[in-house]
Amino acid sequence: MNVVEITKNAVADVLTDMGYELVDVEYDKQYGQMTLTVFIYKQGGVDLDDCEKVSRKLDPILDEVNPTGDVPYSFNVSSPGLDRPFKTQRDFERNYGEEVEVKLYAPLKGKKLYEGVLKEKNENTFTILVDDKEVTIECAKAAYVRPLVKFE
């Protein structure tokens, strides 16, 4: 098992018991040191107090399971962010009925960038509503799907 899998296994149930959902775990080098980041979600959004509370709860658990095998790391807890691409089925499900931005690797009907309302996703495709027309796209053809962030 790798660091990400060990961490997910160690924290998922704890987060659920606390009222949060585990969105993702990343383990990578940032600013010259290894960083372990746990991304969490809760209805209504995640704030700094949530991140602090979760960090305090998970820190001793991670010390015990030692996911990095004694390699020093910095530990962070974060919300997924406003424009973080969807990675899991659950990411899509949380955003049904919401506006999304889709970037494709190659044009579909002459376009590589779509904006629309996310309707559904299955194993191989997802459907968005664009100008009252449904557009179904193969998951493998999307570079990313993420929430559409509008600044007004």
**CATH code assigned to 89-147:** 2.30.30.100
Mean pLDDT throughout 79-98? 90
CB 92 within 8 A of CB 127: no
- Cα distances from 20 to residues 40, 47, 61, 74, 76, in angstroms, run 6, 12, 16, 21, 15
**Residues 50-83 as b or e (16 or more Cβ within 10 Å = b):** bbeebbebbeeebeeeebbeeeebeeebbbbeee
**Residue % of the chain over a pLDDT of 70:** 100
> Could you tell me how many residues make up the chain?
152
Q: What is the pTM of this model?
A: 0.78
Q: Where in the chain is the domain with CATH 2.30.30.100?
A: 89-147
Give the architecture-level CATH label for domain 3-78.
2-Layer Sandwich (3.30)
Residues 60-75 have pLDDT tens digits of 999 999 999 999 999 9
Q: Quick one: average pLDDT of 43-47? A: 90
DSSP annotation of 32: T
Q: Where in the chain is the domain with CATH 3.30.300.70?
A: 3-78
d(CA 28, CA 128): 33
